A and B are shown apart, each in its own frame.
Chain A
């Protein structure tokens, strides 16, 4: 695609009109995402703080540990994650289809309902109406509104796909379609089987892991990987290495990914065969990973020195790395010997952080740093904040993942191994937790760093969005390095 340095070329004129059509919904979803991200990070901080100072805010029922954890997790998924994913999906879909989004205002209306649902749901959880089901924490009454507004937004994205002018369907679009079509199914089935008319006994954890795993792999994974493929080519200006392999990865993921959820239940009172099958099939996901690695890593590593300075490029690079590490770790952790030691520990919290933050959030930041200036028609008001955001995210995320993983390992050894010596008795739970305090404290400090970065992101974004909304005429963006993006 042509670069904006040749503004007279027809492709770029088309690109500009496509970007303009995404302006309203894109800015709306990006801003909503950033707001929820800051609120969610604040909740994470409160929860983390309570683990070393349990008396902190203890008399406020709304902020008791269990509720804050639920609210935080739901908010980061449905508030930050989904809004960011909507912005990414709509823009990527329009770009790849080379088609404008029609009547973009309707998307903002649907988004308004979505975010109303998120707000009510979060307050509901803090007020004690939560379901306590991981991944579906919101009270049942908000799921309907989420579903309808989701359907609306997804249909809009699919209509844009249908109106495509480009004859070729890129691999990014496959992943987008996967995410858009898979989510409503798993969401509505999980809602029906867990909340509306709950299935009996241990079927509940089975359905729950099936849902959360699908949500991570197909929704966040689908949108995230689509963005990684797209931005990798756009930022480096090269085509994907070994592109012919990409359909293999895609189909293996589609066919086997849905089975890998129950691997999380090793040792739980569920039928052993589902768990074993699930572990076996999750090894096939390593093939999918290799395909992603073959496609993305060589392409990214061929970027020019100038491109490497681009914050978007850096975010994307970190995201690819985190994706590969996290998926490999999650397969290895489901092995029985690993699960015996680490099943109920902070190692899984670390893994969640690496997947949700290291992979998805980094991909989202990378995309938004390219997307927002394009659709707003102006460059970032404070470029220094972009760099600050990158480094705080990278350091914060890495520190927190390492601290949690080390904490989890020690916790696992304490919980599941007898100390050496004859007639040794298990280490008391309180003692184990006390040994983890330095790590938990490090994790909390890392969250402070992340929070600072998120505030920087929000400030920059709020600034650009309000400037773009108050004076309607977009000016040509002068994004230094991201200018490779047409």
Chain B
């Protein structure tokens, strides 16, 4: 009987030890990491996402985009994330402070999305919103040969009543995706939120802890980070 008591005690002690070591200790450090207040800009970083983007984060979560996409840029020299243009700097713990559900991901079937907002900015003349709509509607349009599934259920084909919607996207689509005459294709609220979220994805603020390991892609750019530039 004594040995059994010992067994129970041992199990409990081991569990408590790993819990303390892995979780509790870190909870006191990274778990309590504060935001950085930038005196020059009078702002605290990271900045909260706009409301629509936060709602878009939920769409990203519920559609399981994390099954194929990571959101963590590895440091230069550890893989080639920087050479792929997946981020100007690697991700640091502080980048994720305000996210209700941190989806750093474990699979890279598609590219890392941590800075996709910045990558698509300026694509096709606008902020990239149109690019994302086309891509979500049919990835083959923007990325022939992609295995990313189409998300057409995030769009609605409906009869035009009165004025056509300014949000309609069929003008961006090729002939074989055109709706029947008198109809238009509009993104649903969820698609709008999701794309707002994707556009918001950019870690550009150079935190002190990111500065000393910042490796610029080309020489001469590295100064910007050390000055804590916020682009």
Contact = CB atoms under 8 A, between A and B. Distances in A.
Interface of A: 50-52, 54-55, 58-61, 64-67, 69-70, 128-134, 169, 174, 177-178, 181-182, 185-186, 189, 193, 198-207, 210, 251, 254-255, 257-259, 261-262, 264, 267-271, 274, 277-278, 336, 340, 343-345, 348-349, 411, 415-418, 425-426, 429-431, 433-434
Contacts of B103: 132
B150 A58 contact: yes
A227 B65 CA distance: 37
A102 B73 CA distance: 55
Nearest to B91: A269
B226 interface: no
Looking at B64, B74, B83, the one whose CB has the most chain A CB atoms below 10 A away is: B64
A429 B110 contact: yes
Contact of A418 (B80, B97, B101, B104): B80
B125 interface: no
Given A54-B139, A254-B14, A269-B96, A67 B64 contact: yes
Looking at B68, B79, B150, the one whose CB has the most chain A CB atoms below 10 A away is: B79
A426 B152 contact: no
B146 interface: yes
Contacts of B101: 131-133, 198, 204
A93 to B, nearest CB: 14
Nearest to B59: A128
B94 interface: yes
A210 to B, nearest CB: 5
A269 B72 contact: yes
B30 A181 contact: no
A234 to B, nearest CB: 23
Contact of A258 (B15, B91, B145): B15
B26 A206 contact: yes
B107 interface: yes
B117 to A, nearest CB: 18
Interface string B135-160: 00001000111111111110000000
Contacts of A267: 72, 74-75, 78-79
B72 A65 contact: no
B11 interface: yes
Contact of B67 (A66, A198, A416, A431): A66
B26 A203 contact: yes
B96 to A, nearest CB: 4
Contacts of A70: 64, 67
Interface of B: 3-4, 7-8, 10-12, 14-15, 17-19, 21-23, 26-27, 29-33, 61-68, 70, 72, 74-75, 78-80, 83-84, 90-97, 99-111, 139, 143-153
Nearest to B96: A201
A55 B67 CA distance: 17
A349 B22 CA distance: 25
A430 B146 contact: yes
Contacts of A169: 3-4
Given A131-B101, A201-B102, A269-B104, A65 B27 contact: no
A177 B33 contact: no
A259 B64 contact: no
Contact of B66 (A60, A132, A258, A434): A132
8 contacts: A52-B147, A70-B64, A132-B64, A132-B66, A201-B93, A269-B90, A345-B108, A416-B79
Contacts of A210: 18-19, 22-23
Given A66-B66, A200-B32, A271-B29, A426 B102 contact: no
A64 B64 contact: yes
Nearest to A195: B101
Contacts of B145: 430-431, 433-434
A59 B157 CA distance: 13
Nearest to B70: A344
A177 B7 contact: yes
A59 B67 CA distance: 18
B124 to A, nearest CB: 19
B72 A55 contact: no
A178 B29 contact: no
B95 A177 contact: no
B106 to A, nearest CB: 6
B30 A258 contact: no
A51 B78 CA distance: 27
Nearest to A53: B147
A59 B64 contact: no
A344 B7 contact: no
A266 to B, nearest CB: 9
A63 to B, nearest CB: 10
Nearest to A416: B79
B17 A258 contact: yes
Contact of B83 (A132, A177, A255, A418): A418
A201 B33 contact: yes
A430 B143 contact: yes
Contacts of B7: 174, 177
B83 A64 contact: no
A470 B100 CA distance: 52
Please provide the 5 A-B residue pairs with the shortest distance between their CB atoms, ordered closest to farther.
Answer: A66-B64, A258-B18, A344-B108, A128-B62, A201-B96
Contact of A270 (B30, B65, B106, B139): B30
A150 B200 CA distance: 42
B136 to A, nearest CB: 11
Given A199-B27, A344-B106, A429 B111 contact: yes
Contact of A129 (B33, B62, B106): B62
A69 B67 contact: yes
